[in-house]
């Protein structure tokens, strides 16, 4: 299953909340920071172009992991916003229907 496709809004909300929890976890954030810092340090010490490129790819992979979690959080918030809008629209429609049936 794709990361972005074939998911219902409730699934996106749940995944967004889980990703938010992960990004709020100090241990995970500390680990990601340490990985990035280590990659930068090894990149600076690398003797060859290939070694520097390898470290740069590792750094980009670590950053990509964090960005992916951030995007999942964003998608979850968007799904929650759509749900809230649908709920408000349904409430307004029900209220209009009640008003019409009273008249």
Could you report the per-residue pLDDT of 9-39, keeping only the tens digit for each?
888 999 999 999 999 999 999 999 999 999 9
DSSP characters over 63-88:
HHHHHHHHHHHHHHHHHHHHHHHHHH
Asked, for residue 4, whether it belongs to a domain, the answer is no
6: left (phi over 0), alpha (psi -120 to 50) or beta: left
Asked, for residue 3, whether it belongs to a domain, the answer is no
Query: Cα-flanking dihedrals φ and ψ of residue 47, to 5°?
Result: -90, -25
Q: Model pTM greater than 0.75?
A: no
Asked, for residue 2, whether it belongs to a domain, the answer is no
Quick check: 72 and 19 in contact, CB under 8 A?
Answer: yes
Question: Tell me: the pLDDT tens digits for 69-87?
Answer: 999 999 998 888 888 888 8
Quick check: 73 and 16 in contact, CB under 8 A?
Answer: yes
Asked, for residue 94, whether it belongs to a domain, the answer is yes
Asked, for residue 77, whether it belongs to a domain, the answer is yes
Domain that holds residue 19: 9-102
Asked, for residue 85, whether it belongs to a domain, the answer is yes
Task: Choose among 82, 63, 68: nearest CA to 8.
Answer: 82
Q: How many domains does the chain have?
A: 1
């Amino acid at each position: 299953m794709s990361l972005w496709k074939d998911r219902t809004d409730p699934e996106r909300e749940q995944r967004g909340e889980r990703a938010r929890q992960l990004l709020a976890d100090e241990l995970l954030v500390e680990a990601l920071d340490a990985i990035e810092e280590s990659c930068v340090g090894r990149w600076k010490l690398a003797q060859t172009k290939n070694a520097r490129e390898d470290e740069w790819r590792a750094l980009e992979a670590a950053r990509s992991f964090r960005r992916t979690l951030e995007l999942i959080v964003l998608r979850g918030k968007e799904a929650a916003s759509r749900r809230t809008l649908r709920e408000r629209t349904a409430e307004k429609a029900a209220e209009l229907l009640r008003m019409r049936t009273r008249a």
